[in-house]
Amino acid sequence: MADTMKAIVATEGEPLKLADVERPKPGPHEVLVKVAAAGLNRADLVQRAGKYPPPPGASEIMGLECAGVIEAVGEKVTKWSEGDRVCALLAGGGYAEFCAVDEGSLLPVPENLSLTEAAALPEAMMTVYANIFMRSAFKEGETVLVHGGTSGIGSMALQMVKAAGASKIWATAGSDEKCKAAEGFGATRAINYKTEAFEKIVKDEGGADVILDMVGGDYVQKNISAARVNGRICNIAYLNGSKVELDLIYLMVKRLILTGTTLRARPVEEKAEIRAAIEEKFWPKVASGEIKPVIEKVYPVSEAETAQADMADGGHIGKLLLEIG
């Protein structure tokens, strides 16, 4: 096996480029995946800007999810074999020909999906499960508000909470076209945040038990207004800023929980727990086609710079992907 591989390298002030780098070697509990496709995430842009370094021991190469075929397995791996089609949550390393992945961060690719399609699933599904179902303890019959309803995470959140029996689902999006798409993914009502006050609409319609927010800024106070008594508000990003001035009186009056999480730096044991829950509760729905990857565009790896520019522009619906192999 060669000692090098092609990967996307980021140099400050320069466009992304393919270069020869050292090929990773799987540890005892890891597999080596020959990458077919990798998903783009906003975290990649933040990492490239120098504000989101990979956790200790993780690859410096960007890319938090991928799909491909197992090339080799570590000596203590028991569940996976060479040749298995898998998709994976990564702490880094997806924009490359090969990546090493802990065995507990892998899911089998169902027969109804291509490897490229499967690359759109791991980060979004695991983020949604960790935040809506674990951290926010969503229960069947509750109401949900999902911000960024046509983002990769938002489009998956709408499908998953609908499949799990939410009684009412709101989504926010920035155009009428995106609102229509969000309703196609499962939203009972999509709200154009540029022309409507989502907090008033949600509050007037009974309020949300669970709110998933990646916007932050002034949305934090608006989420408190939109939440029902005993509601849970979970932040996973702060596109509009993390420093806000709040009136917290209704946090007490409504007995709300305001929380937030990240996924990337969690121990592999926690990621394995999330993966196992998804495989049990949602993977059959992926295999049946009830839950589908939402993909805006697939780029060849040589166009990684264009793909990241399109992600930064924000006009897409669903995931942007890089085809590697």
Task: State the chain's mean pLDDT as an integer.
Answer: 97
Please tell me whether residues 171 and 195 are part of one structural domain.
Answer: yes
CA–CA gap between residue 114 and residue 286 (Å, rounded): 12
How does residue 2 score in pLDDT terms, banded at 50, 70 and 90? confident
CA–CA gap between residue 116 and residue 237 (Å, rounded): 26
Structural domain ending residue among the three candidates 208, 235, 260: 260
Indicate whether this model's pTM tops 0.75: yes
**How large a percentage of the chain has pLDDT more than 70?**
100
Please tell me whether residues 172 and 101 are part of one structural domain.
Answer: no
Alpha helices, DSSP H, located in 19-121: 42-48, 115-118
How does residue 325 score in pLDDT terms, banded at 50, 70 and 90? confident
For the chain, the domain total comes to: 2
Closest to 67 in 3D by CA, of 242, 260, 255, 295: 295
Please tell me whether residues 199 and 309 are part of one structural domain.
Answer: no
Q: What is the mean pLDDT of residues 237-257?
A: 96
**Residue 244: per-residue pLDDT:** 95
Please tell me whether residues 130 and 252 are part of one structural domain.
Answer: yes
pLDDT at 1 over 70: no
51: domain CATH number? 3.90.180.10
Please tell me whether residues 192 and 170 are part of one structural domain.
Answer: yes
Please tell me whether residues 197 and 288 are part of one structural domain.
Answer: no
pLDDT in tens, 38-51: 999 999 999 999 99
Q: How far apart are the first and last CA of the chain?
A: 17
**Residue 188: per-residue pLDDT:** 98
Please tell me whether residues 147 and 199 are part of one structural domain.
Answer: yes
pLDDT in tens, 148-166: 999 999 999 999 999 999 9
pLDDT in tens, 71-94: 999 999 999 999 999 999 999 999
**Residue 247: per-residue pLDDT:** 96
pLDDT in tens, 92-135: 999 999 999 999 999 999 999 999 999 999 999 999 999 999 99
232: domain CATH number? 3.40.50.720
CA–CA gap between residue 198 and residue 155 (Å, rounded): 18
**How large a percentage of the chain has pLDDT more than 90?**
99
CA–CA gap between residue 6 and residue 133 (Å, rounded): 37
Please tell me whether residues 133 and 192 are part of one structural domain.
Answer: yes
Please tell me whether residues 116 and 130 are part of one structural domain.
Answer: no
Structural domain ending residue among the three candidates 240, 260, 280: 260
Q: Tell me whether strands 208-213 and 227-235 are parallel, antiparallel or unpaired.
A: parallel
Which domain range does residue 231 map to?
Answer: 124-260
Q: What is the mean pLDDT of residues 187-212?
A: 98
pLDDT in tens, 228-242: 999 999 999 999 999
Please tell me whether residues 165 and 230 are part of one structural domain.
Answer: yes
Structural domain ending residue among the three candidates 226, 260, 294: 260
Please tell me whether residues 287 and 161 are part of one structural domain.
Answer: no
Please tell me whether residues 135 and 231 are part of one structural domain.
Answer: yes
pLDDT in tens, 259-298: 999 999 999 999 999 999 999 999 999 999 999 999 999 9
